Structure 1
Amino acid sequence: MTYINLPSNQQAAISDMDETALRAAVRKCLDEERIGPIHGLGLSDCGPYVGTKLHEFQQAIAEYSKAKAHAKRERTRQDALRAGSDLVHAVQQMKGRLETERQEGELYFIEDQIRLPFYLSKRLSVPVSFRWRSSPSADWKYGHLTFVYDFSPQPSYTLPLPKRKPSAAQAARDLEDSLYREWERLKAQALFSMREFFRDGGDGDAVPEVFAVRPSPYGGGLNNFSCNFWQPERPAP
């Protein structure tokens, strides 16, 4: 799973998508009250965001085609028009994101394909590799930062108390699930923070090799600032 970089197959599909052809297909779907005209454009290859909007448009067209009463046809047509507009807008957004990634890729790249460790302990760590350069004509430099986080599981007060104490095996499985979810959260926060650092013009030479992640001073584990290694630590309230 990628977090901050579009996969190459999605990049190709988004780049190849013809907005004029898409708009024409959306109009034809509305005129013919069927989804056929939009098939073959490769929308399902453009990633989950576009895929969700495609599914919503398909459902809206289906509802419109089934409507019989005048009032319901008017309502479902408006719904289909809105869903078609949302689909076109989603493609435009992804094209914008792709262009941003390409521009940023001239100066830095953060590897977001990070494998889950074979064994997870309460000391979680996420290694992030990256490269950067001062200008598109400069040589690449390479770096590596490991985010380390001492995870302290907290009891959930929103769930009902179990009728009996869980077995040792169940407790171990519950801990493993908690560690996995927290590691995924840590990975996401680490990648987002690293991208924010470079987007704001950060110098790769200033990135440390190891950073001790800061839990939220308000409790609850990680927050949006926990992995911001370039910022001073926030005081506890």
Structure 2
Amino acid sequence: MRLNELRLSPDERTALRAVEPARVAAVTQEALDREDTSRLTPLARLRDAGRYVAGRLANLEDHLRKATTGRTGSLRDRAREEALSARQELLQAVERTRERADEEEREEQIFRVEQSPGMQEPDFPVRVRLSFMWKDSASSAWRSGRIAYIYSPSHAPAAGGRRGAGGLTRRGVEAAKAERFVTLSAIRSVEDYLREKGTGEGIPEQVRIRDETLDNFSTALLPRRGTRQVEEE
């Protein structure tokens, strides 16, 4: 996992801003009025604007298509109502994601967090290394630091065994899941610290996760606080 799974990439931000919200509203309304998915073509750039926006656009297309191909009037009416709801979800997604993009760009002017290369094959103990940079003020020079998270649960599967379709043993699969969770949670934890403290001086060089079961408090650097919710796919 890389940081671009947590933040919009520059290309995604560019795609998002290629279509103004007013244009999105007008195009989607016309598509609904004419019950024609081809009318959504001007919004094609939004397919590259991140999974959230792209997913809402695909959802609208799906419901609009059902509204035009339903076998009965009741099915078409229900699909049209769902398409109206899907349109509103798309408009909200565009608005929220544009706000997110603006916030991320402001934050990147004062702090940044990056993941260092991990192990070639996942294994326990899981080791997640991050590097980070921050500025004490907008005009000051960048300062930097590093932190390593180590997670070694006692219940980890034994080494060896048959490799599955993905080329990993059961231990490797579990380690990969844990590494993904720790990475995502750790990046957010460091970001939360830099966001609140405005400095990385208090971030330790190493954190050993004592929890047997990972949760959103496992990587927290701020006292009595978890990271923003980690969502697994």
TM-score range for the pair, normalised by the shorter chain length: 0.7 to 0.9
Distance 1:214 1:70 in 2: 59
Tell me, what secondary structure is at the counterpart of 1:130?
strand
Identify the residue that residue 216 of structure 2 maps to in structure 1: 224
Within the candidate set 82, 87, 101, 1:84 is matched to 87
Matches within 5 A, 1:1-237: 1=2, 2-41=4-43, 42-67=45-70, 69-112=72-115, 114-153=116-155, 169-170=161-162, 173-215=169-211, 219=212, 221-231=213-223
CA distance in 1, matches of 2:175, 2:79: 46
Deviates more, 1:49-58 or 1:65-74: 65-74
Partner secondary structure for residue 60 of structure 1: helix
Tell me whether 32-41 or 80-89 shows the greater mean CA deviation: 32-41
Secondary structure, counterpart of 1:111 in structure 2:
strand
Q: Which runs of 5+ in 2 are unaligned?
A: 226-233
1:232 to partner: Cα distance: 7.0
Q: Secondary structure at the match of 2:130?
A: strand
One-letter amino acid of the structure 2 residue matched with residue 44 of structure 1: R
Mapped contact 2:134–2:142 kept (Cα < 8 A): yes
Over the aligned positions, Cα root-mean-square deviation in angstroms equals 2.4
Q: CA deviation at 1:107?
A: 1.3
CA distance in 2, matches of 1:121, 1:72: 51
| 1:19-52: CA deviation from partner (whole Å, max 9, x where unpaired) | 1111111011111111112113211011111111
What is the Cα deviation at residue 230 of structure 1?
Answer: 3.9
Structure 1 position 14, deviation (Å): 1.5
What secondary structure sits across from 1:231 in the alignment? coil
Change (3 A) 1:75 1:148: same
**Does the C-alpha gap of structure 1 residues 122 and 73 become closer, same or farther in structure 2, counting only changes over 3 Å?**
closer
Identity, in percent, stands at: 23
- Matches of 2:47 and 2:208, distance apart in 1: 40
Contact kept? 2:150, 2:209, Cα under 8 Å: yes
What is the Cα deviation at residue 169 of structure 1?
Answer: 2.6
Q: Distance in 1 between matches of 2:110 and 2:11?
A: 22
Question: Deviations along 1:212-236, whole A, 9 cap, x unmatched?
Answer: 1231xxx5x2111111134379xxx
Aligned 8 A contact 2:136 2:198 in 1: no
